[in-house]
Amino acid sequence: MIPSVSGGVGHISRTGVLARALRRLDPGVSVEYVLDAGRLRPFNIAAVMQMGYRPRLLPARTRDNRDAVAQACLDDADVIVDDSMRYLVPLRACLPRAAWVSVPMYPVGDELFDDWPCLEQTDAVIWAYAPLVERPAELDLVADKLAVTGPFLDMGEVPEREAARAALGITAPFVAYAPRGFPFGLIFGHRALHAAIEGVAALRRGAHPELQLHLMAVKNPGELRGIAGVPDTLPDWVVVHGLAPQAEALARMRAADILLAEGSSTMHEGASLGTPMVLIPGPIAETLNLARALARHRGAHSVEPDDTTPEALARAFAAVLDDRTEAAAMAARARAAVTVGGGAEAAAQLVLRVAAEHRARRAARGEAV
């Protein structure tokens, strides 16, 4: 697995779901993680290790060391799955044993068109988004390789809401939000955090005095200090959690009264868990399109990045807390919208088939497998 590690942990968690699906289908499968050191945000190493993997680091490549580096990191692979790392596909020339599957993210600009020659060199391309998000026309250029699976989701072992709350020792109502090192930049991230804290504070002064804010996936608590409008000493109703194993993080998301989501992986996970969501999409096309689609589908409340203020979030939080029947219906609509297409199981079946077909072709040519 080669996930993107230049932003948040969404690509790591998505490949983690795929890895678990592969192991369920074939317990003999061994999964390794390779992270590109040149584009690495260090907390992503901890995120991979939380899943039980010790990642290999892919160092910078030069014309002189390219083959040796690629082979040292990847030559034992039967199949390589990159998540939004298709710029590494040319390394296939150094790795004849391995098949290659690419999982692109929704394009930020025109990079999906610019990179289609890389996708053309793969064995398969997986589009892992819900049907309510329009598929980019650029993928028609690799239609013969394309598999549409829907999001990779794995919620089967997550306890139901009340059981999750009991297991985590939670009694008060709370909003869950994962700053995750501010992957959409400090301007957006600081505005979102300020709005979340002050939005909850406004409700605590009114009809919801017991409401809490749980901040998840905070690798370094120091990143929460020095932010305009955010006190360096947080009030006791703001509960800070570090990086946690995926099972614990998903249980906390299910236990929440409201999930405040900014990234597409969190939106997909929250929808699948059935937790009412307020969306503050990061300012890129992927998250904006998914949030707007969920809002059109009446599956979530969504606040545009430039409109993310304490007042806007307080209104959205109150809409969920003050009408639990409609909030449950909203969450059910979101769940129905994202749990389609076969997801991780379909993607895992494809990965195993691609690997087997690649080995068979090499064997037929008398090459080492």
Distance CA 339, CA 269 (A): 10
Name residue 245's amino acid.
P
In this structure, are 192 and 326 located in the same domain?
yes
The pLDDT of residue 344: 95
Same domain, 141 and 46: yes
Q: What is the per-residue pLDDT across 186-235, written as a single tens digit (0 to 9) for each? A: 999 999 999 999 999 999 999 999 999 999 999 888 889 999 999 999 99
Number of independent structural domains in the chain = 2
Q: Do 70 and 168 belong to one domain?
A: no
185 and 333 fall within a common domain: yes
Do 199 and 270 lie in one domain? The reply is: yes
- Would residue 228 count as lying in a domain? yes
What's the token pair of residue 257? 């009264």
Same domain, 282 and 353: no
What angle (nearest 5°) sits at the alpha carbon of residue 256, between those of residues 337 and 319?
Answer: 70
Does 167 share its domain with 313? yes
The torsion angles phi and psi of 231, rounded to 5 degrees, stand at -65, 140
Residue type, 258: I
Please tell me the predicted confidence (pLDDT) of residue 42.
85
User: Is the same domain home to 351 and 245?
Assistant: no
E-assigned strand segments in the chain: 2-3, 34-36, 56-58, 79-83, 99-103, 124-127, 146-148, 174-177, 212-215, 238-240, 258-261, 277-279, 301-302
Q: CATH number of the domain at 225, please.
A: 3.40.50.2000
**Span 277-305, pLDDT tens digits:** 999 999 999 999 999 999 999 999 999 99
Shared domain check, 221 and 194: yes
Examine the domain organization and report whether 148 and 184 are in the same domain: no
Entry pTM: 0.87
Q: Are residues 345 and 334 in the same domain?
A: no
- Residue at 260 is within a domain: yes
Please indicate, yes or no, if residue 369 is contained in any of the structural domains.
no
Q: What is the pLDDT of residue 368?
A: 76
Q: Which domain holds residue 104?
A: 2-153+341-364
pLDDT along the chain (369 residues), means of 10: 89 94 96 95 89 95 96 96 96 95 94 95 96 93 96 92 97 95 92 97 98 93 90 95 90 98 94 97 94 96 97 98 98 94 95 95 85
C-alpha dist (Å) from residue 40 to 7, 294, 325 = 8, 31, 43
